[in-house]
Structure 1
Amino acid sequence: MPAILVSEVGPRDGLQSIDPILPLSVKTAWIDALVAAGVREIEVGSFVPAKLLPQLADTAAVVAHALKHSGLTVAVLVPNARGAEAALAAGAHKLTLPLSASETHSLRNLRRTHAQVLEDAAAIATLCKSAAYDVHFEGSVSTAFGCTLEGVVTERKVVELAEALMAAGVDEVGLSDTTGYANPAQVKSVVRAVHAAIGTQHLTGLHLHNTRGLGLANVLAGLDVGITTFDASLAGLGGCPFAPGASGNIVTEDLVFMLEAMGLDTGIDLPRLLDVRKILAAALPDEPLYGFTPDAGLPLGFAVARG
């Protein structure tokens, strides 16, 4: 069966969008349970100033714990070169730098222009190449399918920024539907355009939101054009605090169910993944937890045939 990587982003994207601050012990228990369920990549936090995102102030400690799991790719988001230095000092395997296609969103999110973010990308690429261990550096084009602040984002702009990121030295480019504006036809068109510009091997992942109910439909569109990595958040936690109305990461449980039901191998034990939700339910009693599969349960006789 074809293998698909489900990258869990809840400990970063999910927690940055809610007010409660989870204790380190809960975060580490969450990560341990995800790994036990077969999750192979987790974005565990972000190296941003604690005053901006106090929910992620302990990211270095979370990285240190996650690194104890052999075979787990420990990913983090970095807003600039200083954040990348901290991520490398902590030993993170994968660094993602967001570059918003909408410059208005970039200024709101990072307080940086396109030119400034690209300068940071070049500096981070140099840092990664000189690191004492292998590091994967991704440049993520955020608001790639539309922006709540600027509206329409052109395909040409996304391609232009993807090319600029590759020129700055990133290993790959990701596309993010930060605002939940994307539709399946648009996903196919934009991915094909970026593939044509930078090569299919340099765009393998999508970060999609379910804000308008099209998250899984957009995953199917991505699969059709060769995407093999999809970000998702347990219980659908998350959004973007700097993009008004942009809520709703894809629910990891629903994504894994769909992929496995289609015969695509995620390597994730779905019943064990559903149990992980209990950790969040106990730690965040006042936060809504989303997902159809957890509510309905697995179909009678549902089984995954590993080959």
Structure 2
Amino acid sequence: MELPERASIIEVGPRDGLQNERNFVETAAKIEFIKKLKKAGFQEMELTSFVSPKWVPQMKDSEEILASCLDATRNFVLTPNERGIQRLLETSCRNTAVFVGVSDTFNQKNINKTTAESLDELKPLIRDLKNKGYFVRACISTAFYCPYEGKVDEQDVLAVCEKFEEFGVDELSVADTIGMATPKEVFELFSLLKHRLRSATLLTAHFHDTRGLGLANIFSALQAGVNRFDASAGGLGGCPFAPGASGNVATEDVLHMLSSMGIQTGIQMEPLLEAVDYISRHVAKPIESRQYRLARNAGIFS
């Protein structure tokens, strides 16, 4: 079995993890959560998003988050449209994430555009960002299944990824948005993408743990040659536009699995669990990740 010596974990808890939280998490708590996560060693993190607070009220304090949390590591802000990108340009953040759903129905329910319309809108915006020296990550939603259309054709996923490559993005984050993918489907899709996409494009896997297959799917992606993974501290998350989608795969569980297999990440478990314990007091959903539950049962956290 051939596995990488190192893997990167991109922490998405502060943005993707909290965006669907029904109670507003106070800005000071978000900032403290991010700072605690950074102490664990993360070099890449989604901090917040520039979206309409009407649709995602949890992100209404995004400028304040950026003002307090930017540093020399790679900090992402999700910018789903031209307005979001314009807001980004008014800050000192140099890393952005755009997204599109492979499924037309999902994309329309999310941002009121078809997939093709979104790609057309993003093309000049991405090229302008690249000309200005920004790092651009493209998040590919519903790459396996759509809550409205069912199974997604892997050739459609490839076509969207190739479009983004044509636009000049630095990274593709390919997501099992509703957590329905199986390890076999994961291996097949990522093997195809590794074979067809340029080696210079960073390829990241993003899994939700809706059916308990998040870790198995990460292992399958590793076997397909992927060594970058999105994960959310505490398994927080879910998508407001994807009915039935539960939280992301928990960062601490991913870290435990990778470390147990001898794969280095540069992340430290103890401060990561401390960050999870901290945010657990500010969210409505109980934290039930395996590593946090073990630590709590051992009396490390009350």
Q: TM-score, normalised by structure 2?
A: 0.92
CA-based RMSD of the aligned residues comes to 1.7
Q: Equivalent residue for 2:104?
A: 103
Change (3 A) 1:60 1:127: farther
The answer to whether structure 1 residue 41 and structure 2 residue 44 are counterparts is yes
Q: Equivalent residue for 1:90?
A: 91
Unpaired runs of 5+ in structure 2?
Answer: none
Unpaired runs of 5+ in structure 1?
Answer: 301-307
Q: Equivalent residue for 2:30?
A: 27
| Distance in 2 separating the partners of 1:135 and 1:194 | 24
Q: Deviations over 1:48-100 (max 9, x none)?
A: 01111110011122122221x33x21012111122112123223232121111
Q: CA deviation at 1:203?
A: 4.3
Q: CA deviation at 1:197?
A: 2.3
SS of the aligned residue for 1:290 comes to: coil
Q: Equivalent residue for 1:115?
A: 116
Letter in 2 for 1:291: S
Q: CA deviation at 1:171?
A: 2.3
Q: Equivalent residue for 1:288?
A: 286
| Distance in 2 separating the partners of 1:232 and 1:35 | 14
Change (3 A) 1:162 1:237: same
Q: Is the 8 A contact 2:175 2:205 kept in 1?
A: yes
| Distance in 2 separating the partners of 1:245 and 1:38 | 32
Q: Equivalent residue for 1:273?
A: 272
| Distance in 2 separating the partners of 1:225 and 1:200 | 14
Q: Equivalent residue for 2:206?
A: 207
SS of the aligned residue for 1:268 comes to: coil
SS of the aligned residue for 2:41 comes to: coil
| Distance in 2 separating the partners of 1:61 and 1:123 | 28
Q: Equivalent residue for 1:129?
A: 130
Q: Is the 8 A contact 2:50 2:77 kept in 1?
A: yes
Q: Is the 8 A contact 1:47 1:59 kept in 2?
A: yes
Aligned structure 1 segments of 4 or more residues deviating by more than 4 angstroms: none
Q: 1:5 aligns with which of 3, 8, 13?
A: 8
| Distance in 2 separating the partners of 1:162 and 1:130 | 20
| Distance in 2 separating the partners of 1:195 and 1:278 | 37
Q: Is the 8 A contact 2:102 2:141 kept in 1?
A: yes
SS of the aligned residue for 1:239 comes to: coil
SS of the aligned residue for 2:243 comes to: coil
The answer to whether structure 1 residue 63 and structure 2 residue 61 are counterparts is no
Q: Is the 8 A contact 2:191 2:225 kept in 1?
A: no
Q: CA deviation at 1:128?
A: 1.0
Q: Is the 8 A contact 2:20 2:240 kept in 1?
A: yes
Q: Is the 8 A contact 2:170 2:202 kept in 1?
A: no
Q: CA deviation at 1:5?
A: 1.1
Letter in 2 for 1:48: V
Q: Equivalent residue for 2:256?
A: 257
SS of the aligned residue for 1:243 comes to: coil
Q: CA deviation at 1:278?
A: 2.2
Q: Equivalent residue for 1:179?
A: 178
| Distance in 2 separating the partners of 1:42 and 1:15 | 13
Q: Equivalent residue for 1:303?
A: none
| Distance in 1 separating the partners of 2:36 and 2:104 | 38
Q: How many residues align?
A: 294
Q: 1:18 aligns with which of 3, 21, 33?
A: 21
The answer to whether structure 1 residue 51 and structure 2 residue 54 are counterparts is yes
SS of the aligned residue for 2:219 comes to: helix
Q: Is the 8 A contact 1:234 1:277 kept in 2?
A: yes
Q: CA deviation at 1:129?
A: 2.5
Letter in 2 for 1:91: S
Letter in 2 for 1:289: I
